[in-house]
Structure 1
Amino acid sequence: MWFKNLIFYRFTQPFSLSVEELEDKLKEKRFRSCGSQDMSTYGWVPPLGRHGSMLTHAASGFIMITARKEEKILPASVINEVLEERVEKIEQEQDRQVFSKEKKTLKDDVLMELLPKAFSRSQNTFAYIDTVKGWLIVDASSFKKAEELTSCLRECMGSLPIVNPPLKNMPSFAMTRWLAQEVPLPDHLILGDECELREPGDEGGQVKVSKQELAGEEVEVHLQAGKQVSKMAVIWNDALSFVLGDDLVIRKLKFTDSIQEKLDEVNTETAAEQFDADFALMTMTLQQMLEELIEYLGGISEEAMERKEVASFDVGAKEEAPF
């Protein structure tokens, strides 16, 4: 349940649904396993897994939801091998050439025949809604995966007024200034041991630094050459370590021993109680971190937020493209 990556969206309007109302809407797309002719399925499952039946888990203004995607494993090489055998058989038996249009039809037939025999794999995507601060937080490292969840949520709710938070400054600008020591590092941040620097422009070179001191001469040379920070590892408040990207995605999120020590102070008897304690501590910690991180990066542009709110009104709250 502990999140490993963060993609966060800002609600342009207050989240007004009650937990019960959201639960009812999610039931419309409760997860079902792939049928014999399904390539994939996507839907909602209980956040507590086998320990619960509800599709939502709420505590202190936070609502967790969990989506599951099941996909059939059917490699293209397997399909093509069967297709080639079938084409060759037709050409030999009927003494004629099989052209592209017929090959496409044959390929569809092969796919339908192989699907019922294919193995499947499933993966859960966790997310939660911070109804107090107005965030939707998804445990994903790619926007494609996050948008699968938001699209499904939008279908259930009818509309989902969220946008990527428009900041006053680009994350790369702030991170480059921190690393170049042009401005002091924020109080609760400590540099980690990993970063990525890139030259401006699509064709610019890039340098990856790992497991070494970032405030050293080697990194400084690249900064002086005009490279900018695109990813940087930091430690926040001795509680979280993560890699912040210029796309505002948080990757490699880890909770430190200080968080585990707080959990050790909580007595729980059941798996559900343990989940509740984990969820409460995780969400409160992330809420504080995100609030400070946004401030470190210059804050949200309220003017840009107003433009995004107008643009998303009555059109299903389409997410903005990442930075």
Structure 2
Amino acid sequence: MWFKNLIFYRFTQPFTLNQEALEEKLKEKRYQSCGSQDMSTYGWVPPLGRHGDLLTHCTGSFIMVTAHKEEKILPASVIRDTLEEKVEVIEQEQDRQVFSKEKKALKDDVIMELLPKAFSRHQDTFAYIDPVGGWMVVDASSFKKAEELTSCLRESLGSLPIINVPLKNHPSQCMTQWLEQKVEVPSPFSLGDECELREPGDEGGQIKASKQELISEEIGVHLEAGKQASKLALCWDDALTFVLGDDLVIRKLKFTEVVQEQLDQVEAETAAEQFDADFSVMSLMLQKLLTNLIEALGGENTDISTEEYIEKKVLSVSKQFEPA
């Protein structure tokens, strides 16, 4: 249950559903196992796993949900070999050549034939809603994985008014200034021992440093040459360590002994009680972390409207696909 990565979103409207109402909404997309002809399925499962039946788990004002994805594993090599065998049989028995259009139809038949025999890969994705803080937090390191969950939740609820947090300053700018010591790392943060530096532009070079003192001559040389921080290891309040990316994704999140000491004081008798204690400690800490992090990066850009922010995001994405 302990989150290892964070992709977080800001609600643009208050989240007003209580646990009971959210539970009812999620039931319509409860996870169902793949059928014999299904490539994949996606739906909601109990956060407590086999220890619970509810599709939501509430601790204080925080509500956790869990999505489950099942994918059939069909290696491309298996499909190719099976297809080649079928094509060879047809060409020998009917004394004719099989062309591309027929091969495509045969390939679809092969996939349908192999699906019932394929193994399945299962994956859970945890997320929680913080109505008081106005956050939605997903345990994911890629936007694709996070957006699978948020899209499923949007389908379940009918709407999900969330956006990536619009900042006044770009994270890369702040992280670079911290490494250059032009700006002191804001308390309660401190530098870790890992970073990634990149030259501006898509074709720019990059270097990675790990288990190294970051305020050093070696790192300074690359910064003076114009490289900027794209990833930076940080410690928060001696309780959490993580790597912050210039995409505002938190990766390699780890909880220190300070957190374990808090949990040792909890006398949980059941798995459900332990889950509740863990979730309570984690969600409260992450609420403070996100608040401190946004402040450290210069704060949210409240001057931009939701519509303007979405328009800029769409424009930014579309430019990536423009012909050179």
| Range into which the TM-score falls when normalised by the shorter chain | over 0.9
* TM-score, normalisation: structure 2: 0.95
List aligned pairs for 1:133-282, cutoff 5 A.
133-282=133-282
- Asked if 2 retains the 8 angstrom alpha-carbon contact of 1:12 and 1:309, the reply is no
Runs of 4+ deviating beyond 4 Å: 308-311
Distance 1:203 1:308 in 2: 29
Distance 1:68 1:94 in 2: 46
AA of the residue aligned to 2:15: F
Task: After TM superposition, give the deviation of residue 307 of structure 1 in Å.
Answer: 3.7
AA of the residue aligned to 1:21: A
AA of the residue aligned to 1:23: E
Task: After TM superposition, give the deviation of residue 305 of structure 1 in Å.
Answer: 4.2
- Asked if 1 retains the 8 angstrom alpha-carbon contact of 2:68 and 2:122, the reply is yes
**Aligned residue number for residue 21 of structure 2:** 21
Name the SS for the 2:173 alignment partner.
helix
Structure 1: 5+ residue runs without aligned partners? 312-317
Name the SS for the 2:152 alignment partner.
helix
Distance 1:6 1:79 in 2: 36
Q: How many residues matched?
A: 315
Task: After TM superposition, give the deviation of residue 62 of structure 1 in Å.
Answer: 0.4
- Asked if 2 retains the 8 angstrom alpha-carbon contact of 1:166 and 1:305, the reply is no
Distance 2:130 2:244 in 1: 21
**Aligned residue number for residue 90 of structure 1:** 90
Distance 1:246 1:97 in 2: 54
Name the SS for the 2:41 alignment partner.
strand
Name the SS for the 2:226 alignment partner.
coil
Distance 2:108 2:5 in 1: 37
Distance 2:255 2:278 in 1: 11
Structure 2: 5+ residue runs without aligned partners? 318-324
Name the SS for the 1:5 alignment partner.
coil
Distance 1:145 1:37 in 2: 23
- Asked if 2 retains the 8 angstrom alpha-carbon contact of 1:12 and 1:305, the reply is no
Task: After TM superposition, give the deviation of residue 93 of structure 1 in Å.
Answer: 1.3
**Aligned residue number for residue 315 of structure 1:** none
* TM-score, normalisation: structure 1: 0.95
Distance 1:212 1:117 in 2: 49
**Aligned residue number for residue 104 of structure 2:** 104
Distance 1:253 1:73 in 2: 29
Name the SS for the 2:303 alignment partner.
helix
- Asked if 2 retains the 8 angstrom alpha-carbon contact of 1:165 and 1:305, the reply is no
**Aligned residue number for residue 39 of structure 1:** 39
AA of the residue aligned to 2:120: S
**Shift in alpha-carbon separation, 1:310–1:221, aligned structure 2, 3 A:** closer
**Residues 182-236 of structure 1: per-residue CA shift (max 9 Å, x gap):** 0111121111111000000111100111111111111000000010000000111
Name the SS for the 1:302 alignment partner.
coil
